[in-house]
Amino acid sequence: MNDDQNLHDEADEIRAETAADAPELAEHDRLAELEAALAEAKQQALYAQAETQNVRRRLEQDKVSASAYAVTGFARDILSVKDNLERALSAMPADMKGHESFQGLVTGIEATGREIDTVFQRNGITRIDAVGQKLDPNKHQAMVEIPGDEAEPGTIVQEMQAGYMIKDRLLRPALVGVAKKG
């Protein structure tokens, strides 16, 4: 019975030590929980800050893009005016262009064309080089294939309508005729 009593006493001692350590262990677990919650809150705050910066950056890019390309619709409309001025000049017979009574009209049409070119230049609108260039589907739209041996196949040999870029974007593709092996 002495052994039984000793075991019983030892068990009581272990229970007493565990009970004494329990508040310390509970406090340690609570501290670990709080530290984990704090780390998670810091991580969420960093994610939120990064997302805010990304949104701000995207909005700035959209603002710059919107201001740079705001004239796109208007520029497309003015392109048809420029085309009509060029057609008017090219449709006029050479003897009429040199005739004194039409000189004012020709000069006015040419001056208007130059003014449109100046306005285009100020707004970053440039004409696309076409004739003699290789066909670039990002800038040119092939309308016909022209057979012949004068130019390498895939080279633009005729421009039906001028193409234009606004800064680095396509405003209107050039309508072209492309050389084909004859």
Q: How many Å apart are CA 129 and CA 82, to the nearest integer?
A: 17
Structure tokens at 75: 């520029």
Angle at 151 between CA 146 and CA 155, to 5 degrees: 70
Q: How many Å apart are CA 4 and CA 8, to the nearest integer?
A: 6
Q: Given 2.60.34.10, 3.40.30.10, 3.40.630.30, 2.30.22.10, which CATH number is that of 125-182?
A: 2.30.22.10
pLDDT at 49: 93
Sequence-ordered list of residues with C-beta below 8 angstroms from that of 106, at least 6 positions apart, any chain: 89, 92, 97
Phi, psi at residue 137, to the nearest 5°? Answer: -60, -15
Sequence-ordered list of residues with C-beta below 8 angstroms from that of 71, at least 6 positions apart, any chain: 123, 166
pTM of the predicted structure, to 2 decimals: 0.61
Phi, psi at residue 152, to the nearest 5°? Answer: -65, 140
Write down the domain spans for the chain. 1-68, 71-123, 125-182
pLDDT at 51: 93
pLDDT at 2: 66
Structure tokens at 164: 């234009």
pLDDT along the chain (182 residues), means of 10: 65 61 69 89 92 92 80 85 88 79 85 91 89 88 85 86 89 90 73
Contact 79/164 with Cβ under 8 angstroms?
yes
**Tally of CB atoms within 10 A around 166:** 19
